[in-house]
A and B are shown apart, each in its own frame.
Chain A
Amino acid sequence: MRKFLFTLFSTLPLFSAPSFAQQDVPDGYPTEYSKIIDAAKTEKGLVIYSNVSTNNWAPFLELAKKRYPFLSIETTDEQNVWEKYFAESAAGARTADMILTFAPERWPDFVQRGQALDYKSPEIPHLPSWSMVLPGVYTAAADPFLIAYNKRAFKDKTPPMSMADAVAALKADPKLKGRITAYDPEVSLGFAFWSSWVKRNANGWSLIEALGPAMRPERSAATQREKIATGEQALAIFTSGAGIKVFESPAVKPLVGWGYPKDGTPVLFRSVAITKAAASPNSAKLFLDLLLSRDGQMAFAVGGQTPYRADIKPGEAPYTSYSAIVKAIGEENVIFVKPDASLLSGSDEFMARWNKALGR
């Protein structure tokens, strides 16, 4: 009798729930996961505010569509994610179910305001522990910032692959003055990794000061890439890893070379969290878990983002991956730029020193 009851109960879900739901629970996920799937089916679409372009979302969204055909997903690409979310949630209007963006300085505030849903993903066991710094906030990608150079400017010369190299190259060739571009710390993202880089390098400031008068900072990776390719600039210090896709394209490859800075490669966390104001939290959970899964990371990588799971080996992802970066420069030369409340202030002091170094 007991055995019969056990059998009955254990098989009940098989009959009560539609069979495909059971099949949908990804491998290794608890069976209760089907409840999230069922709940997601009753929700009305998923809205994600992000700083990822539609193009770059495409490969992952295709995967999500295949895995959860019932999800209707809308992503935005904007710089305004926080302000829109705060304003809309304050007014009780429909807003994002999920936010995905860099902004390391804003995430702690977001969590502190209780706006991040503290969801425990079944993917946690597969994620490196360094990727989770705030409750409910995960890392969607870990994008490196590179050094890129104009191949003609460094013809017959070894291109510099660190700040120290760059200082030496400038000493050897004063004509490089004004032809070194850097990602501008005036922009919060630039400040985040420049200040992290200086913290790591004891002689960081002296290098910046040596290079300063020769540097012309840019606020956009687009102009950096454009100017390196045309040869207006010879060297770009810290340009977005999303550019690898461009640098490796047949037209640009003969013009531009790139590499990971040896004296510290900033790796920025593109963080993601489900919002407290989410109208479709279950859909968001499905989406988040898929994004963190190996398949999801690989699909996201096709769009140009950098996957970071330990089970993605160097060379597996199309452009780069965290393991490829480590392989190239060693773990000790990776500088994580992760959500950090201290980045919200202190830029004034940094900028004062920076401007002085640049002779402004």
Chain B
Amino acid sequence: MGTALSVPAQTQSARVRAQGSGHTIQTAITIISIVLVGIALIPALVQMFLDKPLYYPDARFTIQNIVALVSDREVTATFGATFLFCSIVVLVSMALGTSSAILIGRTDLPGRSAFLAILLWPLFLSPQVIGFGAILAYGPAGLLTIWFSDATGLTEPWNLYSVPGMAVVAGIAATPVTTLYCLTAAIQQDPNQEAAARIAGAGSLRILFRIILPIMRPALIFAFIMNIVNALETLAIPLIIGGPVGIKLLTTLIYDKSFESAGLPQYGLVSALAFALMAIVGVLFFLQRLALRQSHRFVSVGAKSIQPKMLALGSWKWPAFLLMAVYVVFGVVVLVGAVFARSLTFILSPDVSFFDAVTLQHYSDVLSVEVYRRSILNTLLLAVVGGALGTAFVAAVAMVAQRSNYRYRRVLDAVAQLPRVLPGLVVGLGVFYASMFVPGIDLLRNTIWLVLIAYLIRFLSSGYGIVSPALLQITGDFDRAAKSVGAGWTTTMTRIVLPLSKQALLSCFVLLMILIIKEYSSAVFLMAPGSEVIGSTMLSLWTQGLAGPVAALAVMQIVLTSILTSIVTRILGVKLHG
């Protein structure tokens, strides 16, 4: 479809002139997006063809980085493990995420809201802390492993240090996002569709598999692709769990070769990987588009208001409750609990009584240092300001890409998805570079506002991933109705679509806050005295070998995130999900 070329008639009134097609704003939003993503992308693109970091005067052109991805024996040797790892991560995350979303959003499962509150915890934690928690709980000397061994007599009940072991942990870490993606779709379903199936004689289970799941297809496909992307770029958990037993995935190998091994950092290889990932994800998104070609069939927020009714689980109620409880307790509470316990003890060991080891030292260690305190305050500021700015930006992008007939809306859609596959480090490097060469941005050097720009780029896709499917589910009749009474694009968006997507935008705001609070990789390059954030402080404490303070900081991170989200929840009266 071409664009609607508006030719105002001669008789046009002032009113009509004010109600433009929004072309200028749409162009501005598109340009800003392209510039922002370009900031992160261009240095990476240049870097891919250089043998040394691009600011080295003796850096030379090479295509070795790209060649290495497919020809280097060490690289290709990781393909098998990477495939297995990704498959398990996606399987675990999709299975746990969708069942949680349906059980919580769609059924009369007892204790739904409590389950939801708890199962989102991993979202608040950086992956290395989750990996750390997994070792504390499920490692060979983990508290749960020991207890389980003592109880059953099995010497080695499970092996965390294996591809499946770390994949399950990574899958659990990825589950909350899947849950969030699917929850909105689950909640917004028309109960009549279920009622119709029930009348047709379908039992709850049949309704689940034949009605609810198929209708959630767009969200499921989207979550599926996001999970693949996430699994492909997962670094921290395989590094911390797979490292000791020599399991290498594509990302850990490249990370090693680029940053840890002796020699100059091979940013070129990182860039090549980023672009390879981008190509894979590009193909995935193309497939998604094919699969969702008729996504209007799935518009589930009709123009009529509906009161969703919960699906009665019947005799499945308590078995479902039990399964959910097992997941929440062993997949979430135990992991987080281990970190929490570690933060309060000198050492967490089955050999030492918890009460002998208990201490608040780690908290005072963190809070007594001005830089660490400042990093917490900076993070708080970035979370609130970045969350708000990011949401506004994401909303603008999503509305142009999803609800306009702007000529380049498909381009914008693709641009908004790009940062997802850009490793945080590449984004950080790009912004860092821009801060030295782009006039204007250089004024922000060594301030947290530079970090903010990096975060906006980094999390554009994550926010977009929340807002864009939500927009898809609001019927276009609302826009057309506004247009027909004389509202231009901008008015329609701000007065009709924006208020209608309030829930999704607030979810986006909360998600961005959470992501910003735990982010570290894109900030690594941008750290300067005064612009520290929790993530970088944690990294620094971790490399110093201070596991106790890391745990304490992780707990403070959870507390901070919980406080912020509950403020948003209470004051604005929304839930983290749609």
Judged by CB atoms under 8 Å, the answer to whether A and B touch is yes
Contacts from A to B (Cβ < 8 Å): 47, 51, 53-56, 58, 74-80, 83-84, 86-88, 90-91, 93-94, 105, 109, 152, 178, 181, 184, 186-188, 191-192, 216-227, 229-233, 240, 242-243, 246, 249-252, 254-255, 343-347, 351, 355, 358, 360
Contacts A74-B529, A251-B359 given: A242-B545 contact, CB under 8 Å?
A: yes
User: Are A217 and B262 interface neighbours, CB within 8 A?
Assistant: no
**Chain B residues with Cβ under 8 A from A191's Cβ?**
261-262
User: Are A218 and B524 interface neighbours, CB within 8 A?
Assistant: no
**Chain A residues with Cβ under 8 A from B209's Cβ?**
none
Complex formed: what's the CA distance from A57 to B114 in Å?
Answer: 44
B245: Cβ under 8 A from any A Cβ: yes
In order of increasing CB-CB distance, the 4 nearest A-B pairs are A251-B346, A232-B141, A74-B529, A91-B436
User: Are A242 and B544 interface neighbours, CB within 8 A?
Assistant: yes
B250: Cβ under 8 A from any A Cβ: no
CB distance from A332 to the nearest CB of B (A): 27
Complex formed: what's the CA distance from A344 to B263 in Å?
Answer: 5
Complex formed: what's the CA distance from A242 to B544 in Å?
Answer: 8
User: Are A226 and B261 interface neighbours, CB within 8 A?
Assistant: no
- The 27 sampled A-B contact pairs (Cβ below 8 Å) are A55-B365, A76-B527, A77-B544, A90-B55, A91-B437, A152-B351, A188-B260, A216-B245, A219-B260, A221-B545, A222-B542, A222-B545, A222-B547, A223-B135, A227-B141, A230-B347, A231-B349, A231-B351, A232-B140, A232-B142, A242-B544, A246-B545, A251-B352, A251-B357, A255-B347, A343-B262, A345-B263
User: Are B256 and A186 interface neighbours, CB within 8 A?
Assistant: yes
**Chain A residues with Cβ under 8 A from B57's Cβ?**
90
Complex formed: what's the CA distance from A188 to B369 in Å?
Answer: 30
Partner of B261, one of A78, A227, A255, A347: A347
Contacts A88-B436, A219-B243, A347-B262 given: A252-B347 contact, CB under 8 Å?
A: yes
- A150 to chain B: closest residue by CB: B351
User: Are A53 and B544 interface neighbours, CB within 8 A?
Assistant: yes
CB distance from A236 to the nearest CB of B (A): 11
Contacts from B to A (Cβ < 8 Å): 53, 55-57, 132, 135-136, 139-142, 161, 239-240, 243-246, 256, 259-265, 345-352, 356-357, 359, 365, 369, 371-372, 432-433, 436-437, 442, 445-446, 524-525, 527-530, 536, 540-547, 550
User: Are B545 and A225 interface neighbours, CB within 8 A?
Assistant: yes
Partner of B545, one of A84, A220, A249: A220
**Chain B residues with Cβ under 8 A from A91's Cβ?**
55, 436-437
Complex formed: what's the CA distance from A220 to B541 in Å?
Answer: 11
CB distance from A110 to the nearest CB of B (A): 11
Complex formed: what's the CA distance from A188 to B352 in Å?
Answer: 34
**Chain B residues with Cβ under 8 A from A343's Cβ?**
262
User: Are A87 and B246 interface neighbours, CB within 8 A?
Assistant: no
Taking A53-B544, A222-B544, A230-B141 as given, write out 5 further A-B residue pairs in contact, using a Cβ cutoff of 8 Å, ordered by the A residue number: A83-B265, A191-B262, A224-B545, A226-B547, A344-B262
Contacts A83-B53, A251-B357 given: A53-B540 contact, CB under 8 Å?
A: yes
Complex formed: what's the CA distance from A184 to B350 in Å?
Answer: 26
User: Are A232 and B139 interface neighbours, CB within 8 A?
Assistant: yes
- A246 to chain B: closest residue by CB: B545
CB distance from B39 to the nearest CB of A (A): 15
User: Are B524 and A80 interface neighbours, CB within 8 A?
Assistant: yes
Complex formed: what's the CA distance from A55 to B347 in Å?
Answer: 20
**Chain B residues with Cβ under 8 A from A53's Cβ?**
540-541, 544, 546
**Chain B residues with Cβ under 8 A from A192's Cβ?**
262
- A360 to chain B: closest residue by CB: B246
* Chain A residues touching B, majority SS: mixed
CB distance from B334 to the nearest CB of A (A): 16
User: Are A229 and B544 interface neighbours, CB within 8 A?
Assistant: no
User: Are A87 and B53 interface neighbours, CB within 8 A?
Assistant: yes
**Chain A residues with Cβ under 8 A from B371's Cβ?**
54
A-B contact count (CB 8 A): 172
Complex formed: what's the CA distance from A291 to B423 in Å?
Answer: 38
Complex formed: what's the CA distance from A225 to B346 in Å?
Answer: 12
Complex formed: what's the CA distance from A221 to B550 in Å?
Answer: 13
User: Are B529 and A93 interface neighbours, CB within 8 A?
Assistant: no
Which among B57, B246, B369, B544 has the highest number of chain A CB atoms within 10 Å? B544
**Chain A residues with Cβ under 8 A from B550's Cβ?**
222
User: Are B545 and A255 interface neighbours, CB within 8 A?
Assistant: no
CB distance from B245 to the nearest CB of A (A): 6
CB distance from B358 to the nearest CB of A (A): 9
User: Are A243 and B347 interface neighbours, CB within 8 A?
Assistant: no
- A354 to chain B: closest residue by CB: B246
**Chain B residues with Cβ under 8 A from A242's Cβ?**
544-545
- B528 to chain A: closest residue by CB: A76
CB distance from A351 to the nearest CB of B (A): 8
Contacts A55-B369, A77-B540, A230-B141 given: A105-B347 contact, CB under 8 Å?
A: no
Partner of A230, one of B348, B529, B544: B348
**Chain B residues with Cβ under 8 A from A51's Cβ?**
543
User: Are A229 and B347 interface neighbours, CB within 8 A?
Assistant: yes
**Chain A residues with Cβ under 8 A from B372's Cβ?**
54
User: Are B544 and A75 interface neighbours, CB within 8 A?
Assistant: no
Complex formed: what's the CA distance from A38 to B100 in Å?
Answer: 68
Complex formed: what's the CA distance from A321 to B463 in Å?
Answer: 52
Complex formed: what's the CA distance from A78 to B538 in Å?
Answer: 11
User: Are A220 and B543 interface neighbours, CB within 8 A?
Assistant: yes
CB distance from A21 to the nearest CB of B (A): 28
User: Are B540 and A345 interface neighbours, CB within 8 A?
Assistant: no
- B246 to chain A: closest residue by CB: A360
User: Are B433 and A255 interface neighbours, CB within 8 A?
Assistant: no
**Chain A residues with Cβ under 8 A from B525's Cβ?**
80, 83-84
CB distance from B320 to the nearest CB of A (A): 35
User: Are A76 and B547 interface neighbours, CB within 8 A?
Assistant: no
Complex formed: what's the CA distance from A219 to B132 in Å?
Answer: 13
**Chain B residues with Cβ under 8 A from A152's Cβ?**
351
- B530 to chain A: closest residue by CB: A74
User: Are A188 and B359 interface neighbours, CB within 8 A?
Assistant: no
CB distance from A46 to the nearest CB of B (A): 10
Complex formed: what's the CA distance from A231 to B348 in Å?
Answer: 10
User: Are A255 and B352 interface neighbours, CB within 8 A?
Assistant: yes
**Chain B residues with Cβ under 8 A from A221's Cβ?**
545
Complex formed: what's the CA distance from A47 to B371 in Å?
Answer: 15
- A191 to chain B: closest residue by CB: B262
- A344 to chain B: closest residue by CB: B263
User: Are A355 and B262 interface neighbours, CB within 8 A?
Assistant: no
**Chain A residues with Cβ under 8 A from B545's Cβ?**
220-222, 224-225, 240, 242-243, 246
User: Are B139 and A78 interface neighbours, CB within 8 A?
Assistant: no
**Chain A residues with Cβ under 8 A from B536's Cβ?**
78
**Chain B residues with Cβ under 8 A from A87's Cβ?**
53, 55, 432-433, 436
Contacts A87-B436, A91-B55 given: A222-B546 contact, CB under 8 Å?
A: yes
- B375 to chain A: closest residue by CB: A54
Complex formed: what's the CA distance from A231 to B350 in Å?
Answer: 8
Partner of B262, one of A105, A218, A251: A105
**Chain A residues with Cβ under 8 A from B256's Cβ?**
186
**Chain A residues with Cβ under 8 A from B142's Cβ?**
230, 232
CB distance from A342 to the nearest CB of B (A): 10
- A55 to chain B: closest residue by CB: B369
Partner of B351, one of A246, A255, A344: A255
User: Are A219 and B239 interface neighbours, CB within 8 A?
Assistant: yes
- A181 to chain B: closest residue by CB: B244
User: Are B260 and A187 interface neighbours, CB within 8 A?
Assistant: yes
Contacts A232-B141, A360-B246 given: A56-B544 contact, CB under 8 Å?
A: yes
CB distance from A250 to the nearest CB of B (A): 8
Complex formed: what's the CA distance from A217 to B247 in Å?
Answer: 11
Which among B135, B263, B264, B445 has the highest number of chain A CB atoms within 10 Å? B263
Which among A75, A77, A216, A358 has the highest number of chain B CB atoms within 10 Å? A77
User: Are B239 and A93 interface neighbours, CB within 8 A?
Assistant: no
**Chain B residues with Cβ under 8 A from A181's Cβ?**
244
Contacts A188-B262, A255-B347 given: A216-B244 contact, CB under 8 Å?
A: yes
**Chain B residues with Cβ under 8 A from A86's Cβ?**
53, 55-56
**Chain A residues with Cβ under 8 A from B351's Cβ?**
152, 230-231, 255
Complex formed: what's the CA distance from A346 to B445 in Å?
Answer: 37
**Chain B residues with Cβ under 8 A from A187's Cβ?**
260-261
